[in-house]
A and B are shown apart, each in its own frame.
Chain A
Amino acid sequence: MKLSREEVEHISLLARLGLAEAEKERLREQLSNILENMELLKETATDDVPPTTQSIALQNVFREDVARPSLGSEEVMANAPQREESSIRVRPVLE
């Protein structure tokens, strides 16, 4: 499975990973190599096999919706890179 330059750029856009030019070429080679190793999976017969998403028998886990103490907003906001009073400051999404 050889990845094209365009595919690498498309995936990096989906993942919002800004990549430098040199990184794109290195990743194209490395990911192609890794994906080639994945081809092995095609050997397995899985038509009638259900997928496993997690390994324990738990299904939905419910709890009562009860109010309980939580962290204060100041504590929660303390790690925000940009703040304005009690709000997190972000760049405009619509321009």
Chain B
Amino acid sequence: MTEELSRLSVRKAVGLLGSRQISAVELTTAALERLHQADSLLHAMVTVTADDALAQASEADRAIGSGRTSALTGIPVVIKDNMCTRGVRTTCSSRMLENFVPPFDATVVARLKGAGAVILGKANMDEFAMGSSTEHSAFFPTHNPWDLSRVPGGSSGGSAVAVAADECLFSLGSDTGGSIRQPAGFCSIVGLKPTYGRVSRYGLVAFASSLDQIGPLTKDVGDCALVMNVIAGHDPCDSTSVADSVPDYTRSLERDIRGLRLGVPREYFVAGMQAGVEAAMRAAVARLEELGAIIDWDVSLPHTRYALAAYYIIAPSEASANLARYDGVKYGYCHMDAGSVWQAMERTRQFGFGPEVKRRIMLGTYALSAGYYEAYYLKAQKVRTLIRREFDAAFQKYDALVTPTSPTVPFRIGERLDDPVQMYLADVCTLPINIAGVPAISVPAGFAGGLPVGMQLIGKPFGEEVLLRIAHSYEQATSWHNMKAPAPGSLDHAG
């Protein structure tokens, strides 16, 4: 029984805790047991804080006992390891920050703690969130629970696997070009990238500051709405977070989708898309139509084809500036065996950063350097305007757009590691959304050859409620979200 507890959705667990059918310590113990059993094969976690978690769970039980509960009291959560946690190391899965212990909590972490959540630890990721497979972690790759020989997606691969394998009840990830949605799709869970500015980035280690956004990874859409209620909202510490009031996102689950206008942009059914993914997508859109949505298959967003190139100029440019701070002086790795200050800095960055981070710093530095700035960076920012205008025009006609989350099912570990361009293509359906700054959610939409397929719903700026409403209606009409990955080590994996 106890191991089953960690399979619960957040809302079910909140109910059972509230009616005292289970205790927070029982729930956290179950999640930790599951984590210890599964993670030796999956490697979703960089740091597990079991003692702290059990202490937080005891506190949650006391709060429940005295009737002082909040939205997430006693709920075990995992945090991507690029969000600062006071007193708990925050590595970004990089040698550069391997021993960095932040003196403060990121705003989202403070909000989760304030809502009573129990933090189990920190999840593995591509180094500094640069990657699409979690293979670029400086520590170890994370494995997909649906097939251990395959990647879980990335960069929030550890956060996605921890949820899919029931090592926790939900997790937080960050999404710069698809890093929440693509691993959510690859692991058959729900992942939301909110509108840029909806969730505070304070305490999120910066990658590309105009694109980064934090969001939830959950077992179902209702949990996603509940977690958004806790993490969304203005933060004086992040001047790019907006002051608009936060709705009760769980209310958006109450309505059906009859009469909603959904567009299916043909550019997202790209060359190289797998037949099984396309078939699953067509079936999913047909299901939305049965639920009463008005589908338009004849939508074109022609600038989509430039999004990948624009993204891989903008994101590395911002990254090269953001990562200039890692100089071995104030915090982080420091190469001691060096002569001059410049040599020390170069050696620190040579040994502190892995190959993908170096690649992006080089690319960004080049795009920003004298003589190339206009041809690359400025050009990409102008194309960004065109892409955003295209989305704005589409949302005059449609309530949301429907696309695959990824053109393929999870690929094999190692398959794309030495070919950066192939790796970058894994985000071709998700990164236009970050360029435009609009919200998008990935929901489980079936399987192709036994591997998960995700459906992406894209919404207007601050239109998360409509996305949750569509996603929830679809989820109610399907059973994909109830299907569980085979337990690692079980007979299902032995063959």
Q: Which A residues form the contact surface with B (CB < 8 A)?
A: 3, 7-8, 11-12, 14-20, 23, 27, 30-31, 33-35, 37-38, 40-44, 46, 49-56, 58, 61, 63, 71, 75-76, 78-82, 88, 90-93, 95
Contact = CB atoms under 8 A, between A and B. Distances in A.
B429 to A, nearest CB: 17
Contacts of A43: 306
A20 B242 CA distance: 44
Contact of A79 (B210, B330, B381, B437): B330
Interface string B412-428: 00000000110010000
Given A30-B420, A44-B386, A95-B340, A79 B359 contact: no
A27 B437 contact: no
A38 B378 CA distance: 13
A4 to B, nearest CB: 12
A30 B359 contact: yes
Contact of A41 (B310, B420, B438): B310
Interface string B301-320: 00101101110110000001
Contacts of B12: none
Contact of A38 (B104, B309, B382): B309
Given A78-B103, A79-B330, A55 B359 contact: no
B382 A51 contact: yes
A49 B340 CA distance: 46
A49 B385 contact: yes
B362 A31 contact: yes
Interface string B466-479: 00000000000000
A14 B363 CA distance: 12
Contact of A40 (B309, B362, B461): B309
Given A46-B383, A56-B240, A91 B344 contact: yes
Interface SS majority for chain B: helix
A94 B320 CA distance: 26
A92 B388 CA distance: 48
Interface string B344-368: 1111011001010011011101100
Contacts of B334: 81-82
Nearest to B438: A55
Contacts of B169: none
Given A15-B365, A79-B101, A79-B331, A44 B383 contact: yes
Contact of A56 (B340, B379, B385, B437): B437
Given A40-B309, A52-B385, A17 B361 contact: yes
10 contacts: A11-B365, A18-B343, A27-B362, A43-B306, A55-B210, A56-B437, A71-B103, A79-B103, A82-B334, A91-B344
A95 B340 CA distance: 9
B196 interface: yes
Given A50-B382, A51-B381, A56-B240, A19 B101 contact: no
Contact of A88 (B313, B330, B358, B369): B330
Contacts of A95: 340
A8 B308 CA distance: 23
